[in-house]
Amino acid sequence: MDDSKYNELDEELLLRPILKTGKWFYISCAILFSIAMFAVWVWYHQWSTGLGVTGMNRPVFWGIYITNFVFFIGISHAGTLISAILRLCQAEWRRAITRAAEVITVLVLFFGVFNIIVDLGRPDRALNVLKHGQFRSPLLWDVTSISIYLTASSTYLLLPLIPDIALLRERKTRLRWLYRLLSFGWTGTDKQKHRLEKAISVMAILVIPIAISVHTVVSWVFGMTVQPMWHSTIFGPYFVVGAIYSGMAALLVAMALIRKLYHLERYIKEIHFNNLGKLLLVFTLLWFYFTFTEYLTTFYGSEPTHMTVFYSKLTGHFAPEFWVMVLCCFLIPLAVLVRKKTRTAAGCVVASIAITIGMWLERFTIVVPTLVNPRLPYPRGIYHPTWVEWSITAGCFAFFILLYMAFTKIFPIVSIWEIKEGRESSVSETADRVKTYLPT
């Protein structure tokens, strides 16, 4: 088969997930949907009874809802940021994976926001943040930043979808009205192509500072208070690094699943896992660097109130969570990703699952131990999340996966036109580019 020419087979293979749906898809949908609906019922129970049904108390006023919020917003950095950076760097291997990444961003953002609303004592008054918004509150910075991010990343997802939607529009499939609507009259003229490319590159540039701002202000929710081990200047970059790290891990898991379930081994190849695995390794080291810096500074300064929180993490009540976090965020990924032999698709999945668990625990060990140890001599707090909190958390994960699965059934999860473009012109374009690097 001639790889340099776009062939009909591409279209067949990449559209197959949309055109053919197996029995297992529906079974897993049903399971995920039941979990999500159960979570909705649990939320109704919490809404009508009060937040007393959670494990939160005084002084632990924030628990795993806030952990989930930070975690999900972190995951959302996968997509857009990775895809935008790879696009801007003209990394040719990006073509098969950008969309899988961008979809994560848009979908997971909703669950980040949802967890904040679930955490409110008065979700019915959530819109007060618009009506009575006080801009000096970091929470309002979050509202602003996340709204902009959601808009920008949805646009950034939609733009490169247009040519593929137009392709679907021409097919005799269900949902043609949707494709007609969302293809915005795309006919593939040179003028349209030129405009689209321009728009995509503008969005790719725009989305980077927005993404960084999002997790920076999320960290500032904690950093701006004077509470021990929250009041830290490196929280902004620390959270951003962690966000990209966990986001990439989520992307790798998604890639592996898509590749396996939709038989896309010809598109999502070992080289993609190897390349992303290297990037993931860089972030493993960055994560360790930031964590080490943060904890060493606290330890060396050894202010008593800070040390109470410090020891509750390292040797105290939260030691299991803390050390599992170190294992999952550092030791496992390092061991797996550092060797070329294990930096395979399977290896990346192992590392990524570890990172996802580890990063959730990182968010948890940032949010809770500070609250458990108040400065004044009150009784120390205890916090055990209840079934309500776990159910809603499970519901979020289930519903996210469900939406992701639904997306792959409506739109091609691997960008068809970009693959086509890659086959047709990327080799010669890259060769031309390399020629410009050569000394004259």
Partner 1 sequence: MARWGMVIDLDKCTACGACMAACREENNIPASGPELAGDGRSIFWMDMLTITEGEYPNIKKRMLPRPCFQCENPPCTKVCPVGATYKNEDGLVAQIYARCIGCRYCVNGCPYNAKYFNWYPPRFRDEEKRYLNPDVSVRPKGVVEKCSFCAHRLVRVREKAAAENREIADGDFTTACQDTCPAKAIAFGDLDNPYSEVSRLAHSVRAFTLLEDLGTRPKVFYLTEGEKHGRFKI
Contact positions vs partner 1 (CB under 8 A): 49-52, 56-62, 116, 119-123, 125-126, 128-129, 131-134, 136-140, 143, 221, 224-227, 371, 374-379, 381-382
From the CB of 88, what's the least distance to partner 1, in Å? 34
Question: Quick one: 138 or 316, whose CB is closer to partner 1?
Answer: 138
Report how far residue 52's alpha carbon sits from residue 54's, in angstroms, rounded to the nearest whole number.
5
From the CB of 112, what's the least distance to partner 1, in Å? 15
The shares of helix, strand and coil residues in the chain, as percent rounded to the nearest 5, are 75, 0, 25
From the CB of 85, what's the least distance to partner 1, in Å? 32
From the CB of 60, what's the least distance to partner 1, in Å? 8
Question: Quick one: 210 or 221, whose CB is closer to partner 1?
Answer: 221
Question: Quick one: 265 or 303, whose CB is closer to partner 1?
Answer: 303
Rg of the chain over Cα atoms, rounded to whole angstroms, equals: 23
Report how far residue 258's alpha carbon sits from residue 285's, in angstroms, rounded to the nearest whole number.
28
Judge contact between 322 and 364, C-beta under 8 A.
Answer: no
Question: Quick one: 78 or 143, whose CB is closer to partner 1?
Answer: 143
Question: Quick one: 231 or 423, whose CB is closer to partner 1?
Answer: 231
Question: Quick one: 228 or 247, whose CB is closer to partner 1?
Answer: 228
From the CB of 235, what's the least distance to partner 1, in Å? 15
Nearest Cα neighbor of 73 from 207, 209, 224, 246 is 246
From the CB of 218, what's the least distance to partner 1, in Å? 13
Give alpha helix (H) positions in 64-122.
64-75, 77-88, 98-119
DSSP 8-state symbol, 327? I
CA end-to-end distance (rounded Å), the chain = 37
Question: Quick one: 102 or 119, whose CB is closer to partner 1?
Answer: 119
From the CB of 172, what's the least distance to partner 1, in Å? 50
CB neighbours of residue 270 within 10 Å: 14
Containing 356, the helix (H) or strand (E) segment is helix 345-372
Q: What angle do CA 361, 365, 371 make, to 5 degrees?
A: 145
| Secondary structure (DSSP) of 385-440 | --HHHHHHHHHHHHHHHHHHHHHHHHS-SS-HHHHHHIIIIIHHHHHHHHHHHS--
Report how far residue 361's alpha carbon sits from residue 359's, in angstroms, rounded to the nearest whole number.
5
Query: Could you identify the residue written with the tokens 């009540």?
Result: 317
From the CB of 127, what's the least distance to partner 1, in Å? 9
Report how far residue 201's alpha carbon sits from residue 212's, in angstroms, rounded to the nearest whole number.
18
Question: Quick one: 377 or 439, whose CB is closer to partner 1?
Answer: 377
Report how far residue 325's alpha carbon sits from residue 332's, in angstroms, rounded to the nearest whole number.
10
Question: Quick one: 368 or 419, whose CB is closer to partner 1?
Answer: 368
DSSP 8-state symbol, 137? S
Question: Quick one: 100 or 366, whose CB is closer to partner 1?
Answer: 366
From the CB of 46, what's the least distance to partner 1, in Å? 10
- SS3 string, 203-252, reads HHHHHHHHHHHHHHHHHHHHHCCCCCCCCCCCHHHHHHHHHHHHHHHHHH
From the CB of 300, what's the least distance to partner 1, in Å? 19
Report how far residue 274's alpha carbon sits from residue 268's, in angstroms, rounded to the nearest whole number.
11
Distances (CA, A) of 262 to 130, 158, 255: 43, 22, 10
**Which amino acid is present at 218?**
V
From the CB of 124, what's the least distance to partner 1, in Å? 9
Question: Quick one: 134 or 189, whose CB is closer to partner 1?
Answer: 134
